[in-house]
Amino acid sequence: MFLKNYRTVILAGAIIAAALILLSYNLRYDTGTGVLKNMVLEAAAPFQKVFNASVTGVENAWKRYIHLVGLEEDNRKLKSKIAALQEELILYKEGNLEAQRLKKLLSLQDVYPHRFIAARVIGKELLVVSKTLWIDKGKTHGLKPGMPVLVLPGLIGRLTDVSWHSSKVLLLIDENSNVDVLIQRTRVQGIARGAGSMGCALRYVPKIQDVKEGDVVVTSGLSNIFPKGLLVGKVSYINRTDTGLFSKIHVAPFADLSSVEEVMVLAAEQQESDQRKMKEE
């Protein structure tokens, strides 16, 4: 009767006592790896392997993902660096090209015995009605209307409107431009008038005069605006078949007027300049 009433408590107590004995025994004698323990370890090994494989797989995938994230970050940084370096390279190239252009411009001083003022082109108007450049030098820099403007190898126009810090350059190809010129080879004179996209039209050259395509045209120096001998262009077209006294001649300017970035303004002849300096001294 007693056992029936308290069998739960007795069972629990007995098992706890057994566990306590097991613990005490192991604490006292340290049995190490018994058969049961070995069996448990053997049974656990496959589970452990499966879990480890899964965990390792997930871990590797995660590491790969992190690595890829790192790669993406590196890639982004490298792209950004490449862009910055390309920008820098472009700046260097631009600087190099500018230096080359300026070097060429400065070589004008070796070719012509004049005083030059360098200016940067800040605007272009290559319209049908007007072919002009706008440069960043003006009266304060010693510029005056009418001064010839050159780029290597020769003349491109003259100053028309001069303000304090900027000026307008009337290009040779503008229809309002007229320059006294001569054919360098035969010394035949004429007037080069702007003809827009065709360059200049060489006017008042009689048909009997010896002019050939490729002849170099230079300033004649008769107008007192342009010094003698400035290169203007080359004869690109000649027609003597038309009616009239004069040949129809086209002159192509030496300089590419659409890509001019810096110019030299011919301020005075070198002798005048030297004289002025002496007076000032």
The counts of H helices and E strands in the chain are: 4, 12
Q: Using the rule CB under 8 A, is 12 a contact of other proteins?
A: yes
Name the one range near other proteins by CB under 8 A: 30-38, 75-83, 141-149, 196-204.
30-38
DSSP 216: E
Whether residue 182 contacts residue 217, with contact meaning beta carbons closer than 8 Å, is answered with yes
For residues 122-134, one letter each, b for 16 or more C-beta atoms within 10 angstroms of the residue's C-beta and e for the rest, the string is: eebeeeeeebbbb
Q: Which tokens belong to 130?
A: 């007007």
Using the rule CB under 8 A, which residue among 1, 3, 35, 36 binds other proteins?
36
Q: Using the rule CB under 8 A, is 52 a contact of other proteins?
A: yes
Q: Using the rule CB under 8 A, is 128 a contact of other proteins?
A: no
Q: Using the rule CB under 8 A, is 63 a contact of other proteins?
A: no
Judged by CB under 8 A, the number of residues near other proteins is: 26
Q: Using the rule CB under 8 A, is 51 a contact of other proteins?
A: yes
Using the rule CB under 8 A, which residue among 44, 68, 82, 222 binds other proteins?
44
Residues 68-97 that bind other proteins (CB under 8 A): none
Whether residue 141 contacts residue 122, with contact meaning beta carbons closer than 8 Å, is answered with no
Question: DSSP string covering 103-156, please?
Answer: HHHHHHHHHS-EEEEEEEEEEEEE-SS-EEEEES--GGGT--TT-EEEETTEEE
Name the one range near other proteins by CB under 8 A: 31-39, 140-148, 225-233, 250-258.
31-39
Q: Using the rule CB under 8 A, is 60 a contact of other proteins?
A: no
Q: Using the rule CB under 8 A, is 37 a contact of other proteins?
A: yes
Shortest reach from residue 72's CB to other proteins, in Å: 25
Shortest reach from residue 9's CB to other proteins, in Å: 9
Q: Using the rule CB under 8 A, is 2 a contact of other proteins?
A: no
d(CA 18, CA 22): 6
Q: Using the rule CB under 8 A, is 20 a contact of other proteins?
A: yes
Amino acid (one-letter) located at 118 = A
Q: Minimal CA–CA distance to 193: which of 274, 269, 249, 116?
A: 249
Using the rule CB under 8 A, which residue among 2, 3, 41, 167 binds other proteins?
41
Whether residue 186 contacts residue 209, with contact meaning beta carbons closer than 8 Å, is answered with yes
Question: Which lies closer to other proteins via its Cβ, residue 48 or residue 96?
Answer: 48
Contact residues for other proteins (CB under 8 A)?
A: 8, 11-12, 15-16, 19-20, 22-27, 31, 34, 36-37, 40-41, 43-44, 47-48, 51-52, 55
